Amino acid sequence: METHRTITALVTGSTRGIGLAIAEALEARGIHVIRHGTRAEGPSSIAADLADPAETARLWDEAREKAGGRIDVLVNNAGVFEASPIDNTDAYWLAEWERCLRVNLTSAAQLSRLAVRQWLADPVRPVAGRLVNIASRAAYRGDSPDHWHYAAAKAGEVAMTKTIARAYANQGILAFAICPGFTDSAMAGDYLASRGGPGLLADIPLGRVAEPAEIAAIAAFCSADAPPSMTGAVLDANGASYVR
């Protein structure tokens, strides 16, 4: 990224867990971070419900205003991880499917489109903008029988990242995806507890789940330091519980 101007990043879902760690890691590098959550927490934070397309669009507009007109880095981290057993009613199962894909994939696509359009209209060379999508090991390995929707959303996020990277690399737009396994966050912690944590940990050769700071270090590298030739890369961080 250029060094003579302040770089601004929008990080969704950045008031706790992995997103908070990413925001702090970027700020430690001198990047101005606009945070997002379900509640605003401070002047550089914006509240928005990503299940609502209008709220997602408003988030982008307000973030650009706070940034003085330009977002240089977009980190799509926000997500939901809610069980949806197949023996629920059709209406309930479909509603949960739509909600998961809306928050985990469609909102990321909506924000990515807005970012790419901005970078195409107002490029800053040699890198016009960087997109970092926080996907999941589930994109490749799949997930539990109650999480079809989550795995599908994360696989879509990876495919979207690759498509953006291939389409716009020659215009200076870089895109990366990160696929964590279980990470020591509230979202994953609840799931680990519900599934008998020690049994799941036995499936991780490293012997532990990832720390948010580890995922943040990868995201910060992609946001600021990864060379352009890395665009389109998908980076795994799962303690060797899934290798490909």
User: Mind telling me the catalytic residues?
Assistant: 150
Cα–Cα distance for residue pair 27/34, rounded to 1 Å: 10
Handedness of CA 98, 103, 109, 110 (dihedral sign): positive
CB 231 within 8 A of CB 40: no
How far is CA 194 from each of CA 5, 88, 135, 167, 189, rounded to the nearest angstrom? 47, 19, 22, 41, 9
DSSP string, 41-101: -STTEEE--TTSHHHHHHHHHHHHHHTTS---EEEE---------TTS-HHHHHHHHHHHH
Residues present in the chain in total: 244
Residue 119 and residue 144 in contact, taking contact as beta carbons nearer than 8 Å = no
Q: How far apart are CA 135 and CA 33, in angstroms?
A: 20
Contact between residue 134 and residue 161 where contact means Cβ atoms under 8 Å apart: no
Asked if residues 79 and 186 have their Cβ atoms less than 8 Å apart, the reply is no
Angle CA(36)–CA(39)–CA(45) in degrees, nearest 5? 40
Do residues 173 and 166 make contact, with C-beta atoms less than 8 angstroms apart?
Answer: no
